[in-house]
A and B are shown apart, each in its own frame.
Chain A
Amino acid sequence: GENVEQHPSTLSVQEGDSAVIKCTYSDSASNYFPWYKQELGKRPQLIIDIRSNVGEKKDQRIAVTLNKTAKHFSLHITETQPEDSAVYFCAASRRGYQKVTFGIGTKLQVIP
Chain B
Amino acid sequence: DGGITQSPKYLFRKEGQNVTLSCEQNLNHDAMYWYRQDPGQGLRLIYYSQIVNDFQKGDIAEGYSVSREKKESFPLTVTSAQKNPTAFYLCASSISTGEYGYTFGSGTRLTVV
> Which of B31, B58, B90, B98 sits near A95, CB closer than 8 Å?
B98
Which of B14-22, B68-76, B77-85, B102-110 has 4 or more CB atoms under 8 Å from chain A? B102-110
**Chain B residue at minimal CB-CB distance from A43:** B104
A interface bracket (residues with beta carbon within 8 Å of B): 20 to 34
A-B pair number, CB within 8 angstroms: 57
Could you tell me if B104 and A93 are in contact, using CB atoms closer than 8 angstroms? Answer: no
Count of interface residues, chain B, beta-carbon cutoff 8 Å: 22
> Which of A46, A94, A99 sits near B99, CB closer than 8 Å?
A94
How far does the Cβ of A102 sit from chain B's closest Cβ, in whole Å?
5
Given contacts A43-B106, A98-B48, whether A32 and B100 have CB atoms under 8 Å apart is: yes
Seen from chain B, the residues whose Cβ lies within 8 Å of a Cβ on chain A are 1, 31, 41-43, 45, 48, 50, 56, 58, 90, 97-107
Seen from chain A, the residues whose Cβ lies within 8 Å of a Cβ on chain B are 31-32, 34, 36, 42-46, 49, 51, 89, 93-100, 102-105
Known: A34-B101, A98-B48, A98-B50. 13 other contacts (CB 8 A): A32-B98, A42-B107, A43-B1, A43-B104, A93-B97, A94-B98, A97-B97, A99-B48, A99-B58, A99-B97, A102-B43, A103-B42, A104-B42
